Chains A and B, each alone.
Chain A
Amino acid sequence: MSKKQTLPIRLLKGFGMFWWDFLVGDTPELLIAVLLIIGVITGLRGAGFNTAAVVALPVLAVLALGVSVRRAINSSKKK
């Protein structure tokens, strides 16, 4: 028997769903990539390599975008 959810629970669920769709949706690889990028840049900054961080941040973002586009093209070809 299904219980009817209260309004605050429904609103909370809706809010959670919005953020899930917003950040994950059909591209979980982008969320993972951004977390990895943040990890790498934190490491580089911690080691004092500012120039490496300046170069690595956009380069890694471009790589992530390229991988995600590649993934979408491959999946589109399979269909």
Chain B
Amino acid sequence: MFLATVSSGVLVLVGAVFLACAVEMVEALTIVFAVGHTRGWKSAFEGVFVALVALVALVAVFGPALVQIPLSTLRLIVGGVLLIFGMQWLRKAVLRSSGFKAKHDEDAIYEETVAELRASGQSIGRDRVAFVMAFKGVFLEGLEVVVTVLTLGTSAHRLGLAATTAGIALLLVVIIGAIVSKQLSSIPENAMKMSVGILLVSYGTFWAGEGLKVSWPGNDAFLAFLVVIYTLVTWGLVALAKFESPKKKVAAHS
């Protein structure tokens, strides 16, 4: 029983952090690859390095500060933030799965970034455009990773586990990226985003409840129940939305 309750909390934490980090890193790496292949790797790597330093500095500043907040307040804030963030992801995933929103296409993003870089012309000396683009890509996507790791890790009292999971996700995406060399469109991003959304909303519900002193039946094991409920609801929403999908109407008329 003890093992089961510990495992459900840990599994949801690891799953949420891993998938969220992998998705954000796929997006960042697509931009870095576009910059590297078009303008050269030196400026791209410089941009990545400075962005990573800035992210580490943010973690160093906000990590210890978060630990000082009383646990119930922290869990309420984190729960609220995760609920909003998770529902945003789920909403997008439902709309993409049902055809109301275009799927996130890494190929298109790669081509768009390449076109933008080519249009900006070559710089002499340090390539400022390439540096800024690589920096922005890594910093903005990385900021979401930092928020996910810090909020989930501190409120579960497992910051080390959350950070390690994020590191493994980053490493795996970089290895896969190096193998496919250019773009990462073969990764099923929408399915991953849907899973992240479900896990974040489950965690958000759980922590918001804990912060408000709700006593969950089965304690941590209730997280697993929430994951099942939100998965079923998401499938239901996708099925309902597909009834009204523009794609379905096109198919019916053709």
Contact = CB atoms under 8 A, between A and B. Distances in A.
Given A18-B143, A41-B209, A69 B83 contact: no
B250 interface: no
A16 interface: no
Given A30-B87, A73-B95, A61 B201 contact: yes
A8 B83 CA distance: 31
B233 A62 contact: yes
Interface string B208-240: 110011111100000000100110010001000
A72 B91 contact: yes
Interface string A28-50: 00110111011001100100001
B84 interface: yes
Interface in B46-105: 76, 80-81, 83-85, 87-88, 90-91, 94-95, 100-101
Q: Is the interface of A mostly helix, strand, loop or mixed?
A: helix
B241 A57 contact: no
Given A30-B87, A34-B84, A69-B241, A61 B205 contact: yes
A61 to B, nearest CB: 6
B209 A57 contact: yes
Nearest to A52: B214
Given A34-B83, A73-B95, A53 B212 contact: yes
B87 A53 contact: no
B226 to A, nearest CB: 6
Contacts of A69: 91, 94-95, 237, 241
A53 B241 contact: no
Interface residues of B, number: 37
B147 interface: yes
Given A72-B95, A73-B244, A54 B214 contact: yes
A76 B95 CA distance: 10
Which bracket fits the contact residues of A? 20 to 34
| Residue with the greatest number of chain A CB neighbours at <10 A, chosen from B80, B214, B241 | B214
Contacts of A34: 80, 83-84, 87, 208
Contact of A22 (B85, B204, B212): B85
A22 B241 contact: no
A66 B236 CA distance: 10
23 contacts: A18-B143, A23-B84, A33-B87, A34-B80, A34-B87, A34-B208, A35-B80, A37-B208, A41-B214, A50-B215, A57-B208, A57-B214, A61-B83, A61-B201, A61-B205, A64-B87, A65-B237, A66-B237, A69-B94, A69-B237, A72-B95, A72-B101, A77-B244
The 10 A-B residue pairs with the shortest CB-CB distance, nearest first, are A53-B214, A76-B100, A34-B83, A41-B212, A30-B87, A62-B233, A65-B87, A68-B91, A30-B84, A34-B84
Given A73-B241, A76-B100, 7 more contacts: A23-B84, A57-B214, A58-B226, A65-B233, A68-B87, A68-B91, A72-B100
